[in-house]
């Protein structure tokens, strides 16, 4: 399959108001892509679009505010996008949410919210926009899974379930769409410096202080600039890579899961206990 040609094509990006999505938006604009940007944050989405329009006045930039947790709202926006853009060169399913807590600490409604945004919306948008991808020869589909689509640590049951589902869905589509000339890439970002951890919901049964301590420790791993991640993702799609791992915090766990598929959890738990001891030793009065 030839490399993806971005200039002059239309790219649809979800979760475009911040983080990796905003960085992807700017990276695609620099490569000459017309843009259709989706997000639930109207104000930040408008700011991203305005910056792109100012830097690239020759490009068409459309924005749509949508709550991907709402299947009806997702269907409405998908129809609007498909009608306005019958040919789509690139679809990037990037939007995602997080939920902290073990399975017995979250409600089914909280669990379902993560599945709706991270997986059901990916399936729904891809299904709705697939005819537009097929109408543009040489198009490409990108889905953003996660580090937790490679490993599934304790306390991430909902998020890992959604991201493993994205991974499986994407791998099947890669095999199904090859005869249509559509490339498919699954992305597994590691520690990207975005706001997803800070914006994560906390399960109803989770102790807030315990969760906050864990969140602060986890955020120390978020060191990769979203712009760097976006460049790697775009280049991976352009070169038709089937899988893109971003950062050592994705490549190392991927190797760990391959070598110790049933027992890597012990090493993760050991690392968490050591981190907890370091926090305790560093606490005032320790």
Q: Which position among 111, 119, 148, 159 bears the catalytic label?
A: 159
Q: Which CATH class is domain 10-282?
A: alpha beta
Cβ-contact 88, 12 below 8 angstroms: yes
Q: Is 11 within 8 Å of 89 (Cβ atoms)?
A: yes
User: For residue 214, what pLDDT is reported?
Assistant: 60
pLDDT digits (tens, 9 = 90+) for 135-176: 999 999 999 999 999 999 888 999 999 999 999 999 999 999
Closest listed residue to residue 140, CA positions, set 248, 59, 28? 28
Q: Is 142 left (phi over 0), alpha (psi -120 to 50) or beta?
A: beta
What percentage of the chain carries pLDDT values higher than 70? 88
Grouping H, G, I as helix, E, B as strand and the rest as coil, residue 188 is strand
**What pLDDT score was predicted for residue 191?**
78
Q: So what's the pLDDT on residue 265? A: 75
Q: What is the pLDDT of residue 271?
A: 59
Q: Is 211 a catalytic residue?
A: no
DSSP conformation class of 171? H
pTM of the complete model: 0.90
Average pLDDT, the chain: 90
* pLDDT computed for residue 285 by the predictor: 46
Q: What angle do CA 198, 202, 203 make, to 5 degrees?
A: 160
pLDDT band at 118 (very low <50, low <70, confident <90, very high): very high
Position 222 scores a pLDDT of 67
Percentage of the chain surpassing pLDDT 90? 72
CB contact at 8 A, 19 and 196:
yes
- If pLDDT is split at 50, 70 and 90, which confidence band does 284 have? very low
What does the domain layout of the chain look like in residue ranges? 10-282
Confidence at residue 241, expressed as pLDDT on a 0 to 100 scale? 97
């Amino acid at each position: 399959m030839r490399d993806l040609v971005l200039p002059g094509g239309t790219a649809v990006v979800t979760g475009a108001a911040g983080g990796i999505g905003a960085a992807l938006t700017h990276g695609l604009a620099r490569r000459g892509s017309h843009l259709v940007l989706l997000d639930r944050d109207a104000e930040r989405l408008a700011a991203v679009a305005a910056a792109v329009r100012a830097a690239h006045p020759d490009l068409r930039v459309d924005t749509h505010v949508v709550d991907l947790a709402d299947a009806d709202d997702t269907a409405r926006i998908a129809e609007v996008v498909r009608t306005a853009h019958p040919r789509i060169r690139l679809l990037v399913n990037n939007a995602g949410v997080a939920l902290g807590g073990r399975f017995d600490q979250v409600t089914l409604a909280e669990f379902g919210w993560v599945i709706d945004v991270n997986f059901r919306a990916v399936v729904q948008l891809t299904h709705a926009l697939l005819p537009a991808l097929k109408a543009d020869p040489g198009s490409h589909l990108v889905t953003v899974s996660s580090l937790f689509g490679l490993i599934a640590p304790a306390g991430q049951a909902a998020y890992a379930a959604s991201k493993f589902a994205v991974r499986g869905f994407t791998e099947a589509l890669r095999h199904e769409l090859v005869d249509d000339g559509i490339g498919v890439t699954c992305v597994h970002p590691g520690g990207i410096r975005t706001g997803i951890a800070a914006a994560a919901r906390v399960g109803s049964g989770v102790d807030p202080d315990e969760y906050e301590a864990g969140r602060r420790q986890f955020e120390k791993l978020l060191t990769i600039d979203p712009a760097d991640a976006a460049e790697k993702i775009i280049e991976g799609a352009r070169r038709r890579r089937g899988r893109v791992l971003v950062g050592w915090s994705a490549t190392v766990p991927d190797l760990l899961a391959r070598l110790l598929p049933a027992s890597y959890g012990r090493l993760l738990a050991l690392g968490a206990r050591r981190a907890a001891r370091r926090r305790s030793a560093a606490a005032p009065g320790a």
